[in-house]
Amino acid sequence: MGLRVLGVDPGLTRCGYGVIDSGRTPSLVRVGVVRTPADMEHGQRLVRILAGLREVIDETQPQQMALERVFANNQRNTVMGVAQVSGLVIHEAASRGVPLQLFTPSEVKNAVTGYGGAEKAQVGEMVRRVLRLEAVPKPADAADALALAIAASWRAARSIPSPPTRDLPRAATGELTAAQRAWLAAEKASRKQF
């Protein structure tokens, strides 16, 4: 069995989560969303999300976590809620000693589809293919969380030395998949920006 990874797509109304076991053929462990109603008191919404995430973490025992980075947009209230939920995830990872990786949306899209500007439907379809699922997980927040877990597992695989190279897991043909090659290119490009 490979690395167990929990991906979280933070949101106040729907917080997506997806857990996979990585490896040559990644497999789905658990996927879903923690929902809160818009008319619930804000603090109670955060309490419900945290309780849901803790239950998932306790049940699945991830060895790695992945979270989408918060980025500013024109909807200030949405960004604030996402940032608060992200803080809960960061706190849980740190308090449990679970390594956490942060990804921009374009990094995840690049890793999973090979194109940083991919549409949600394309990401969902690639998640379905990579995990060999019958259907794309719904809602999109759940599929996005699985995409985060996939991206994190591929990045983590590169940091674990394995003779004779430190490359990402290879496909059955012995070559990197198109998505893995795209991930390497995106990672190199992101390093040049800093």
Q: What is the pLDDT of residues 128-144, one digit of tens each?
A: 999 999 999 999 999 99
Is the pLDDT score of 168 beyond 90?
no
Distance CA 107, CA 40 (A): 33
What pLDDT does 173 receive? 41
Is 41 annotated in the active site? no
Q: How many CB atoms lie within 10 A of CB 180?
A: 20
Mean pLDDT of 177-185: 61
Distance CA 28, CA 149 (A): 10
Residue 191: band (very low, low, confident or very high) from pLDDT cuts 50, 70, 90: low
To the nearest 10°, report the CA torsion of 109, 136, 8, 102: -10
What pLDDT does 7 receive? 98
Is 68 annotated in the active site? yes
Q: What structural domains and CATH numbers belong to the chain?
A: 4-192 (3.30.420.10)
107 is in an annotated binding site: no
Question: pLDDT digit string (tens) for 72-106?
Answer: 565 666 788 899 999 999 999 999 999 999 999 99
Q: Lowest mean pLDDT: which of 45-54, 58-67, 84-93, 150-159?
A: 150-159
21 is in an annotated binding site: no
- Terminal Cα distance for the chain, rounded: 35
68 is in an annotated binding site: yes
Q: Which residues contact 150 (CB under 8 A, 6 or more apart)?
A: 5, 7, 20, 22, 26, 111, 112, 127, 130, 131
Is 141 annotated in the active site? yes
Provide the b/e sequence for 31-58 (b: ≥16 CB within 10 Å).
bbbbbbeeeeeeeebbebbbebbeebbe
**Catalytic entry in 21, 92, 107, 141:** 141
Distance CA 67, CA 89 (A): 8
